[in-house]
Structure 1
Amino acid sequence: MVEPRPMSMTAQSSLLLVLHDVAPQTWPDYQPFVEAVDALGQVPMTWLVVPDFHHANALDGHPGFRRMLDSRVERGDELVLHGYYHCDDGPPALHPKDWFMRRVYTHEGEFYGLSEEAALARLRAGIEIFQRYQWPLEGFVAPAWLMSEGTRQALRQLPLSYTSDTQHLYRLPEFTPIDAPGLVWSARSAWRRGLSKVISDRREQRWRQAPVIRLGLHPVDMRHGFSRNYWLRTLERLLEDGRVPMTKIDWLASLRQPVSSAA
């Protein structure tokens, strides 16, 4: 097993603001928050874009939304391929573990059960969308961070630089892990939001010396003042602490390779 590379590779501590599930349907949720972040100054963001969210939000049919994403790229933000449909439309699960992961843990693990052939076709379709709109593309993040072995094999064949899970970034094609701890909420109910804040506060304290912290936001977070305000206040606090906001790809590019001690 490959050990994660140590995080202490950059001269300054960083933060990565990541918007998940970006699609025409979810943009109204995000828009007020994005405007509030823009008002803070130059804070680059990483947008995880879904080409056809739940089979109902194909980017081809939303030129205004695409122009908005064009403007974000011009501003210095990064767009990342985030699945293709962001929903698990595969055949019913037969194994109890698979049923739990696909129907209890999440209904959106699109790449959890895909074969290498199926994953490769969907990934190539997503890459083609980015090429069509002339959006630079370096990264892929699977919905719910769930990937089958077939998906991993498919990613090794494609011109992508990285993927990620909740606590790491992985350089492709070798899947070299790099520690990158992340805060993420479950905001579907009041008790989940309360518990998420308790957990996130503890993790933030634990990671105070970490060279990088990821803030992983979801559209549902934006629909509740409690969670939306948490993310904005946390972002402001980390900026005041001197953390440098970066996109994922810029942070990866900033890492210095450790110097070998071999003679």
Structure 2
Amino acid sequence: MQYAIPIQNHKITPADLPGAPLSLLTEISAGRGWLSLVREALAVLPAGAEVLQIKEKFGALRVITNARSPDVRKALQPIEYKSLEVCEICGAEGILWHDGEPGKPAGWLRTRCDEHAHKRVQEVSGTLSEIQSLAERMRDHQIKNLEAQLAELRNSPGNDLAGPFILTMTIANLAVPIRAAFAVPSDVIGQPCDANTSWHLALFTPWQPTENVLLDLHNALFDDAPASVRDRVELFCYDNSAMLARCQTAGIQLTLHG
């Protein structure tokens, strides 16, 4: 099926309006199907008026000028109302349609003839189908990658942080009295979590840690703990029942050494 004017090339341009009172800043976004209506609107403007915008709004033609008197609005309104019966694209007889264009508010209106309204529905349906297809393919690709990572993890000898965590826990227990220790997912204790730093060592001391205690622990870890985990140690008071419960529920309790 052929259309009088291709949908992708239907906008009015300044070249369509020779002699019109336009400026370099005039915005034109209306369809060429309304060209005769635009020319009719320009013909009723008073001398000296300058056109600021020629656009579609709520499915109708709108001509905005610097002449904002009631007489100008009264002259333009019948022409703008007439546009609600003219297809903005081809100029054939049209009616208001709800346009399902992505990103537009529900109920966005366009004045279209039957042919162009049908074509728009087909375009939107095709776009939505393409979006759904891509979303499903992206999902399947992600699942495939996760399955490969899971298979690799299952075939591995275990997490490389296990040994450094045990050694670090022992070093910490020599510097600070530790009552309980857990290997926990980093987000459990509010730390950033990614593929490379997904575990932390949560240590619980019988007393509220003072600045001196924290300094002693920092120095001990800096001197003797493996570099891969010395920044993944968090010290809490055993009386912090909420944090202790989170670590007990989501973490792995370690046997104390030292």
TM-score, with normalisation over the residues of structure 2? 0.23
TM-score, with normalisation over the residues of structure 1? 0.23
Higher relative contact order (CA 8 A, sep 6+): 1
